[in-house]
Structure formats: C-alpha cells, structure tokens
Amino acid sequence: MSKNVSIKYAIDWTTVVYFVLLVFMGWISIYGASYDFDQTGILDWEQRAGKQFVWILTAFGLGGMLLLVDYKMYNFFAYVIYAVVILLLIVTIFVAPDIKGSRSWLVMGPISFQPAELAKMATALALSRFMSAYNYKVKGWRDLLPLSLFILLPFALIILQKETGSALVFLAFTLMLYREGMNGIILLLGVLAIFLFVVVVKYSEVLVGVDQGSLGMLIAAVTLLLIQFGYALLYTKHRRESLYLIAGVVATVGLTLLINVWYRVNFDYVSVFVVIASGFYWVYMALFRRFRKFWMLAAVSVGAIVFSYSSDYLFEKVLEPHQQIRIKVLLNMEDDLTGAGYNVNQSKIAIGSGGLWGKGFLNGTQTKLKYVPEQDTDFIFCTVGEEHGFWGSTLVLVIYWLLLMRLLTIAERQRETFNRIYAYCVTSIFFFHLMINIGMVLGIMPVIGIPLPFFSYGGSSLWGFTILLFILLRLDASRLERMH
C-alpha cells in the first residue's frame, strides 16, 4: 500500500478537528479584538484578522507538508534540527533589532519570525531522541544532567533575547520527565518552594501578636511540620516517632505561650527552632534507629526553612522593582491599577463584564475601546470572555481539555519510546501555555507574556504550535502504517 493512501486513514482526525476548531475560534476572536469601526471586513489584508487568515492558510499547508515527510526522518534528524535551531537562536541575539526591549525577532522584509517558537519543537525532538536510546532510564541525577543541558541551552539563549516568558516554557519538560521516571518528589518540591515563597512574601508584613513575628513564617513552619507528620505517619508508617514529635511540638508551643505571659517572645525564632529541632530529631532517627528514609525529611525541613528565610531577601534584593510589583499585584498586596496591575485589572473587567452569555460578537466595549492591552496576542482570551461570556470561555477551555486528553491518549498508545516522549513533550508545552496564559488573564498567574496556542495573533507562534502538533500526528500515523 502506498504511503499517501495509508496516512489518510492513519491520521488522528479527532486531533485535527480540535486543531481546526481552535484556530478558527482564535481567528474570529482576533477579528473581534482588533475590530475597527471603519474596517471593511474580516479578510482585509491590512487588518490583523486578514493577516492571521494568511498565517492560518500557510499553517494548514505546513501541517500537510509535515505529514508527507517520512516519520523516520524526525528521529534521524533530531540532533541536526536541534543544532540548527540553537545556531539560529545565537544568530538572532546578534542580528535581531530591538523590538519593545526584546531581541528575539528575525526580520526578513515584511515578515518577522521568532526562532524561539521553533526551539520548543527542536528541544522536544532532541530530548525524545536522547531518552529513547537503548537502556536509557531516568533514575538518578546522573541521568538528568545531560537532559537539563538540552533544556538549559535554548532556555539561556532565549533569556539572552530578553524573552523570559518563552524561556519559562521550557520548564514544561519536567512534566514529561515525570512521566518518564523522574522522581515525583522533585515536582512536589518545586510546588512546595513556590508555596513557601508566596506565603512568606505575601504575609511577611502581616505581624502576629505585638510585633512578635510574621504570619508568613508561621504558616511556613506549620506547613513544614504537617509535611513531616504526614510523611512519617502515612508514608513510612512510623506512628510512634511522629507522635513523639507531635508531643514535643505541642509542648514547645505551650511553653512559648506560657513564657509569653510575662515576656514577649519572637515567634519567628520559635517556629524556626521547632522546625530545625524536628529536623534534628529525624537526623537522630536516621542515625541511631537506621530509618534511612528520615534523612530526606531532615534535609527537606532544613532546606525549606533556609529557603523561607531567604525568599523575603531574594524578593527584596534580587528581583527588579517591576518584577516585585508584578508579583505583589498578583498576590493582592498592592493595587497598582494604572501600572503593572492595569493589564490584569482591565482584563478581569473585560471578562467579568461578559456575564453568562456575553455581549455578542463584535459588541465588546472593553476590548474594542482598547482598554485591554495586547488584546489580540497575549490577552486574546479577554475577547472570548467579553463577547461570548461564561459559556463561550468554558467551551474554549473544554476544547483545550479535550485536545490535551486526546494527546495523552495518543502518547500512551505509542509503541516507540521516541514517539511517546515526543507526545508528552507536546502535551506538556500546550498545557503550560494554557495554564500560564489563561491564568494570567484571569489574574491568578503572574503576567508572563506567552501566547495562547492557536488563538493568539501571530504567525510565529501559530506556525510553532502547528509544527509541534503535526510532527506528533505524523509520528502517530506511523503506528498504523507499519501494520499494513
């Protein structure tokens, strides 16, 4: 059977339908967002919707072409593609003009392109190739080291192009690594670190008692103790040891409150003392009772308390003022509605004013009067929220969810390790973009300027996502092709 015939049947049409749906809805939204009263029509080439239409057509063409390539090529040329893209990233740093402070665009005549969008695909291919090597297992640090090099190289180059948002997307690969065997504790530690940072920074100025310490440190300490109890109690089943510890903590807290009657105690010191003391307790257990699992508990406790103490410092000293403000706005510590909080506040107003059914297509006042900045790129979801209301936004979210679930199904049905890893890379990247972008528009994630896949205006991102997806579809199709 000839290849071309088989691919028509082998291709996962469900995914293609989701893809076309999202691209089409995105196009409509861009038209709404950049709609101008004197504008002639949706196909006006001078307008963004018209331009996006061209990008969409070319993306379809590109997707079709990618399906025609022999699937073995992607595996075979993975490193070459990676090397070429890295080279392109380096060149970009030097030749790219300064556009709004970022040096990430290659300008060729009327067309400009962001090589960073290709870097996701290239890194995904390279990682898949490396990790699918015979006998490779993600187990120890030694296995993770070369992987992190693959990820960090484009990450650093994109940081140098002043595109921090696009660079952060490379964190998404940790989700794929988790699926491939990386210890889940690493992800949990990451979540714990973010939690501690947020709590300590947000509540660092909320004082407890009569200036006796900050609420942030107290919450951090309580969280750490709960983790210790939980770990010891549920995971290692050493009930007695954890009960001793609970007794000790209760005694210390009681003693502190007692002393506090006569003498004002600094609760910060007490909470740090309790966590460190319990850390030592686990060290003692590990040393003399030979419960080896407690080593980690001790290390995590001490590390976390050091981290908690330093995050306030990191926040004040290391972050730039504008980054501090963005985080403060996000944590509701500051209402900076004209500066950093402006975008988020306007986007919340636009979405909130949509109500259940929305104001109707092209009737959104907020987005149309340009109260929302970047409304056809990073904040495109506002238009959906305002013009199509709760049902429209939920529909879009559900389609994304269906797409992601479909991609997970595709990933798990692969027999080739290379294909599975690549599928997970694609899923992770899409998920990360979705989570950050919509979270940002809804005001629950910091403002990190990354596009919403298939929705946001722009050829580079549309092409980038299309390439990611259609290489996956091609790889997936090969599964059936072999059977014929």
Partner 1 sequence: MINDTLHSRRYVIAGVITAIVLLYIVRLFSLQILDDKYKEGADSNAFLKKTQYPPRGLIYDRNNTLLAYNKPAYDITLIMREISDLDTLSFCRALNIDKAYFIKRIAEIKDRRRNYGYSSYTPQLFMTQLDIEDVATIQQSLYKYPGFYIQNRTLREYAYPHAAHVLGSIGEVSQKRIEKDAYYSSGDYAGRDGVEYTYENALRGEKGVEILLRDAKGRIKGKYEDGKMDVAPKAGDNLILTLDIQLQILGEKLLEGKIGSVVAIEPKTGEILAMISNPGFDPSTLVGRQRSKNYAALVRDPTKPLMNRATQAQYSPGSTFKPVQALVALELGGINEHTRFTCNGKGSSPIKCTHSHGSPVDLLNAIEQSCNPYFWHAFRSTIEKDGYGDKNTDFKHSFDQWRQTVMSFGFGHRFEDSDVYEQSRGNIPTEKFYNRYFGETGWRAMTIRSLSIGQGEILVTPLQLANSMAALANEGYYITPHLNKNDTMQKRVHRLSVDKKHFSIVNEGMWRVFEYGTGRRTKIPDISMCGKTGTVQNNHGKDHSLFVGFAPRENPKIAIAVVVENAGFGATWAAPISSLLMEQYLTGKVERAELYNHITTSITNANVKKR
- The binding site for partner 1 (CB under 8 A) comprises 36-38, 100-101, 137, 175, 178-181, 184, 338-339, 345-346, 348-356, 363, 365-366, 368-371, 373, 385, 389-390, 393-394, 397-398, 400-401, 404-405, 408, 411-412, 427, 431, 434-435, 438-439, 442, 444
Least distance from partner 1 to the Cβ atom of residue 137, Å: 8
Q: What is the token pair recorded at 384?
A: 């959906």
Helix (H, G, I), strand (E, B) or coil at 102: strand
416's CB contacts (< 8 A; 6+ apart) are: 132, 475, 478
Least distance from partner 1 to the Cβ atom of residue 179, Å: 5
Q: What is the token pair recorded at 178?
A: 């988790």
Contact indicator for 373, 343 with CB cutoff of 8 Å: yes
DSSP symbol at 231: I
Nearer to partner 1, 37 or 313 (CB): 37
Nearer to partner 1, 301 or 343 (CB): 343
Q: Which residue in 366, 470, 434, 350 sits closest to 59, CA to CA?
A: 470
What Rg, from alpha-carbon coordinates, does the chain have?
26
Q: Which residues pair with 264 in a beta bridge?
A: none
203's CB contacts (< 8 A; 6+ apart) are: 214, 215, 216, 219
Nearer to partner 1, 58 or 353 (CB): 353
Nearer to partner 1, 146 or 339 (CB): 339
Q: How far apart are the first and last CA of the chain?
A: 7
Nearer to partner 1, 44 or 481 (CB): 44
Nearer to partner 1, 318 or 444 (CB): 444
Least distance from partner 1 to the Cβ atom of residue 359, Å: 9
Helix, strand, coil percentages for the chain (3-state, nearest 5):
70, 0, 25
Q: Which residue in 402, 400, 367 sits closest to 28, CA to CA?
A: 367
DSSP symbol at 133: S
Least distance from partner 1 to the Cβ atom of residue 342, Å: 10
CA dist 99 and 193 (Å) reads 34
Nearer to partner 1, 3 or 293 (CB): 293
Nearer to partner 1, 299 or 362 (CB): 362
209 burial level (CB within 10 Å; 0-12, 13-18, 19+): exposed
Least distance from partner 1 to the Cβ atom of residue 427, Å: 8
Q: Which residue in 275, 397, 376 sits closest to 52, CA to CA?
A: 376
Least distance from partner 1 to the Cβ atom of residue 364, Å: 8
Least distance from partner 1 to the Cβ atom of residue 356, Å: 6
Least distance from partner 1 to the Cβ atom of residue 3, Å: 30
